[in-house]
Structure 1
Amino acid sequence: MTAYGNNVLRLAYSYLHNMSDAEDVLQDTLIQFLKTQPQFETSEHEKAWFLRVAINTSKNKLNYNSIRKTDELSETLAAGEAEDLAFVWDAVKQLPSKYSEVVHLYYHEGYSTAQVASLLSKKETTVRSLLQRARSRLKEVLKEVYDFEKQI
């Protein structure tokens, strides 16, 4: 919990956009850890396990919520984001989950494209394509909202 709790919570929030659901995912991830008591070769393997379980649990929660058609409260992530980049992360939250998950893992968690591919069970080239498409979409969204143009 101490080592990976914040990472799991942020990842779950990036999927669910609801802090109480993200906390539920964190709790479910920890319960899964206590039930299975997996053995890890390295701390990187341990962190990857926690994030993979959190991703799967978040996706299950999204399916559950879509079936029940619940309304989610719009909350902002209060932990450690730079104030001047908050608008970028707001734009990332508007992207489809296939894009926002790779952006989150690559930029926020600091994983390489190979590690992201492993976590998401995708090919590395697919992850690179998703990142490129996400960047293009973000550029369009930010250009519309903030009218970013060439500076010179």
Structure 2
Amino acid sequence: MPPQKSQEELTALYHRNIDAVYRLCYVYLRNHADAEDAVQSVFLRYLQKRPEFHDMSHETAWLLLTAKNCCRDQLRTWWRRQRVDLDTLPEPTACTDAETRETLHILLSLPEKYRVPLYLHYIEGYPAKELSPLLGCRESTVRTRLQRGRSLMKRQLGGICDDTQHTGNAQSNRTTKRTDTMRHPGET
């Protein structure tokens, strides 16, 4: 059995990862309340399993993979399929400028197979190579989904996005969270 972690270590782990886990849950579930429920489930699973991590990137990857699984479980429930979607009601948004709100709205309107890789690549800074095990598909599939997702967004944004960039050159830049635009992590 792994050694028990102190309250301070658990608090630090939570604060290091809460934002990334919440954002991924929101990308999957598209609802603040459901995303908060999924986040609670993720950290509850962590407390139940108490996995040992090699480093912080392994810790974050485990939590994001668990978040993905929790969200998919939630999306498959009978209750979720039977309820009326509340997306028609306006929700307060943290986005302040119109361009960011429009980009976020378009991202959330994409099919899941494009929405999640685009979010993880451009917002969280994961390169396609690291997304492959996270999403459970080949790296070439991730790259294809990123390219097709960019093309869909470009069409919906009226040609604003530049999709000539290759996703293989993306740098892992998880410390700089880009929530303002859909750019490669290394762009200025």
TM-score, normalised on structure 1? 0.87
- Match status 1:119 vs 2:134: yes
Runs of 4+ in 1 over 4 A off after TM superposition: none
- Aligned partner of 2:86 in structure 1 is 72
Matched, 1:61 2:74: yes
**What RMSD in Å do the two structures reach over aligned CA positions?**
1.7
The correspondence for 2:111, drawn from 92, 96, 99, is: 96
Q: Displacement of 1:82 after TM fit? A: 6.6
Aligned with 2:121: secondary structure? Answer: helix
Give the distance between the partners of 2:91 and 2:42, measured in 1 at CA: 22
Q: Which has the higher helix share?
A: 1
Structure 1 residue corresponding to 2:64, chosen from 51, 60, 65:
51
Structure 1 unmatched ranges of 5 or more: none
Measure, in 2, the Cα distance between the counterparts of 1:94 and 1:18.
Answer: 13
Q: Distance in 2 between matches of 1:77 and 1:33?
A: 29
- CA offset digits 1:68-92 (Å, max 9, x no partner): 23423453552xx573422111101
Q: How many residues align?
A: 143
Larger radius of gyration: 2
Query: Residues 3 and 131 (structure 1 numbering): CA distance in 2 closer, same or farther, change over 3 Å?
Result: same
Contact in 2 for aligned 1:12/1:58 (Cα 8 Å): yes
Corresponding residue to 1:138 among 137, 153, 158: 153
- CA distance change for structure 1 residues 95 and 76 in 2, over 3 Å: closer, same or farther? farther
Q: Is the 8 A contact 1:17 1:75 kept in 2?
A: no
Secondary structure of 2:115 counterpart:
helix
| Equivalent-residue separation in structure 2 for 1:109 and 1:52 (angstroms) | 13
Alignment match, 1:31: 44
Q: Percent identity between the aligned chains?
A: 34
